[in-house]
């Protein structure tokens, strides 16, 4: 089995990424690439890995869905009492990773994270299907539960009480990452990949540099 894993590889031949090709603003480049991913009909194009680290320095990572982005940052929603919510309360910094395998592309976005307000949380929560509202109201995210049956019964009880919309848990809300660095990765032949990184300079202007693969 070890030999089989060691020998798993494929060649990257999709495209190139040069300093001349890349947008001057990293948000514009993100919009370009996510648009191309959507055009390619990639499933779960907004799925992103969210990496956090708690007060003890223990890193954790999971997949969440991007729910909004603009010049101020990238947002998603979750339960603030969850493992990621507690980690962000203790250490409000994170990194996002988008991986579109079909295009041999990755985007890393690093920065500080802030909590969104209750109005934004309500707006998104009540835009979701009722079943998703009920699931969020049922689950005390990341906490142990005795059985699947217990969880399902709690859901059924809430569904009987709330046939139009479910109550948003007070701990459930949104987060926004304010970017301080971006990296755009394009797979290339022979593992000599393209990596272009954006960072802000002393005047808060974005500067791009090529990184070795």
Residue 102 in any domain: the answer is yes
Which range of residues forms the domain containing residue 121? 10-126+169-211
Do residues 112 and 174 both lie within one domain? Answer: yes
Residue 136 in any domain: the answer is yes
Residue 68 in any domain: the answer is yes
Do residues 146 and 83 both lie within one domain? Answer: no
Do residues 64 and 105 both lie within one domain? Answer: yes
Do residues 79 and 183 both lie within one domain? Answer: yes
Residue whose structure tokens are 């980690």: 87
Could you read off the pLDDT of 71-89 as tens digits, one per residue?
A: 999 999 999 999 999 999 9
Contact of 22 with 184, CB cutoff 8 Å: yes
Contact of 90 with 101, CB cutoff 8 Å: no
Amino acid 2: pLDDT: 64
To the query of whether residue 188 is one of the catalytic residues in this protein, the response is no
- Mean pLDDT (the chain) is 94
Residue 57 in any domain: the answer is yes
Residue 175 in any domain: the answer is yes
Reply yes or no on whether the pLDDT at 1 is more than 70. Answer: no
CA distances from 150 to 63, 138, 139, 146, 161 (A): 25, 10, 11, 7, 17
Looking at the chain, the whole-number percentage of residues with pLDDT higher than 90 is 87
- pLDDT mean over 168-196: 95
Do residues 137 and 47 both lie within one domain? Answer: no
Using alpha carbons only, give the angle 199, 204, 206 rounded to the nearest 5 degrees. Answer: 40
Amino acid 197: pLDDT: 98
- pLDDT mean over 82-110: 97
Reply yes or no on whether the pLDDT at 166 is more than 80. Answer: yes
Candidates 62, 101, 191, 210; catalytic one: 191
């Amino acid at each position: 089995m070890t030999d089989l894993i060691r020998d798993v590889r494929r060649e990257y031949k999709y495209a190139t990424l040069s300093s001349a090709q890349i947008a001057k603003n990293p948000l514009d480049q993100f919009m370009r690439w996510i648009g191309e991913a959507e055009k390619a009909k990639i499933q779960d194009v907004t799925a992103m890995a969210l990496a956090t680290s708690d007060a003890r320095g223990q890193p954790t990572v999971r997949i969440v869905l991007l729910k909004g982005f603009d010049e101020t940052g990238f947002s998603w929603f979750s339960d603030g009492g969850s493992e990621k919510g507690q980690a962000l309360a203790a250490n409000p910094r994170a990194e996002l990773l988008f991986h579109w395998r079909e295009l041999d592309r990755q985007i890393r976005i690093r920065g500080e994270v802030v909590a969104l307000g209750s109005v934004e949380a309500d707006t998104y929560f009540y835009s979701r299907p009722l079943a998703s509202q009920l699931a969020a109201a049922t689950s005390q995210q990341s906490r142990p539960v005795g059985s699947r049956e217990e969880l399902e019964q709690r859901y059924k009880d809430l569904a009987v009480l709330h046939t139009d919309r479910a109550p948003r848990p007070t701990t459930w809300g949104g987060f926004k990452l304010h970017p301080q660095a971006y990296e755009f990765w394009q797979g290339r032949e022979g593992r000599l990949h393209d990596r272009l990184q954006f960072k802000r300079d002393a005047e808060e202007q974005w500067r791009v540099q090529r990184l070795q693969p």
